[in-house]
């Protein structure tokens, strides 16, 4: 596995792969890899001849420096994992490589970035779109794979690629869960044992909503009520965000279910915010 720390090294690696006729899949990450990331890599490997992974804790998508500083990192472990799954190359840039001094260009999906989680975390999706656009320009992949767990992020990136005519195909990878249903996330390690046990409530609430969607005449209000009641029954959890939106455009829905609804929740355990989502159908 080639380890690239500069844009120059990354571009040389991409060029060498292309020279042998290989298609390139890309999985951008912020490191501290888990089975969820590995499933995205497997998906990219099924679509392309060679896969490049980036590990970059992107400062522009964090609101508070404390959150950025506390983000878990373990480069040696990540590199060992990536080697074991036959990734062709890993790109590990410094922040000044991605954001050269004096840079002033941002990318923002004006509506999507400012609704739902974007309202709770202002500037977050601007940071995500700005870094992903830069990474796409550096790696120039044919296909890029993102987790469906970060559902709004996936839609923001799809919109950006369409709007800016970027020649990359975006694929979503299904959420990978622990045995007890908790969606895998690098944040889970920061939960206390009690909060970790209580955190299964996110998946339980989403499954209850999915079941209620199949009742004849089910409404968006029914989904919201069951999520609110299920989370309220867990004293360690605080429901910070609940959105029931059209699965593609993320526009707010109401009334009888008619088409796929993305149910997106953010739940706080102390100062740790977990997110999860499910697309449910009537
Ligand atoms: O999902 C993530 O890990 C990040 O938001 C991403 C897409 C790598 C951009 O920094």
Torsion angle of the four alpha carbons 111, 112, 115, 118, in this order, in degrees rounded to the nearest 10: -120
- Both tokens of 98, joined, read 């991605």
Distance CA 68, CA 72 (A): 9
Q: Could you tell me the residue ranges of all domains in the chain?
A: 2-173, 186-280
In this predicted structure, what is the pLDDT of residue 186?
84
200 vs 276: CA distance, rounded Å: 11
Domains 2-173 and 186-280 share a fold: no
The model's pLDDT over 156-190, given as tens digits with 9 standing for 90+, comes to 999 999 999 999 999 999 999 999 999 999 889 99
pLDDT tens-digit readout, 25-62: 999 999 999 999 999 999 999 999 999 999 999 999 99
Distance 200 CA to ligand 1 centre (A): 23
Report d(CA 18, CA 16) in Å as an integer. Answer: 5
Cα–Cα distances (Å) from 99 to 43, 95, 135, in that order, read 29, 6, 11
Q: Is 35 annotated as a binding residue?
A: yes
Q: What is the 3-state secondary structure (H, E, C) of 186-215?
A: HHHHHCCHHHHHHCCHHHHHHHHHHHHHCC
Task: Specify the DSSP element, H or E, that contains 123.
Answer: none
| pLDDT score of 198 | 98
CA atoms within 13 A on the CB side of 251: 3
CATH architecture for the domain at 2-173: 3-Layer(aba) Sandwich (3.40)
pTM: 0.90
Over pLDDT 90: what percentage of the chain? Answer: 92
Closest atom of ligand 1 to CA, residue 128: 9
CATH 3.30.1300.10 assigned to domain 186-280? The reply is yes
Test site for ligand 1: of 27, 30, 33, most ligand atoms within 8 A of the Cβ: 30
């Amino acid at each position: 596995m080639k380890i690239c720390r500069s844009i120059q090294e990354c571009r040389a690696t991409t060029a060498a792969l292309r020279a042998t006729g290989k298609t390139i899949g890309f999985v951008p990450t912020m490191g501290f890899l888990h089975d969820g990331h590995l499933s995205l890599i497997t998906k990219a490997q099924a679509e392309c001849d060679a896969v490049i992974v980036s590990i970059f804790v992107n400062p522009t998508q964090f609101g508070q420096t404390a959150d950025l500083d506390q983000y878990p990192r373990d480069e040696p472990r990540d590199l060992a994992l990536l080697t074991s799954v036959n990734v062709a190359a890993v790109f590990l840039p410094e922040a000044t490589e991605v954001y050269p001094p004096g840079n002033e260009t941002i990318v923002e999906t004006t509506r999507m970035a400012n609704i739902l989680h974007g309202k709770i975390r202002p500037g977050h999706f601007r940071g995500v779109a700005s870094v992903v656009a830069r990474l796409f320009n550096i790696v120039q992949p044919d296909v890029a794979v993102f987790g469906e767990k970060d559902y709004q992020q996936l839609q923001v990136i799809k919109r950006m690629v369409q709007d800016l005519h970027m020649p990359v195909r975006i694929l979503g990878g299904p959420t990978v869960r622990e045995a007890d249903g908790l969606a895998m996330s690098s944040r889970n390690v920061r939960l206390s044992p009690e909060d970790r046990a209580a955190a299964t409530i996110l998946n339980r609430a989403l499954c209850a909503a999915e079941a209620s969607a199949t009742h004849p005449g089910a409404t968006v209000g029914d989904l919201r009520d069951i999520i609110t009641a299920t989370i309220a029954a867990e004293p360690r959890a605080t429901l910070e965000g609940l959105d029931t939106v059209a699965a593609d455009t993320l526009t707010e829905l109401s009334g009888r279910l008619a088409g796929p609804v993305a149910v997106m929740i953010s739940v706080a355990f102390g100062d740790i915010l977990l997110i999860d989502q499910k697309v449910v159908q009537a």
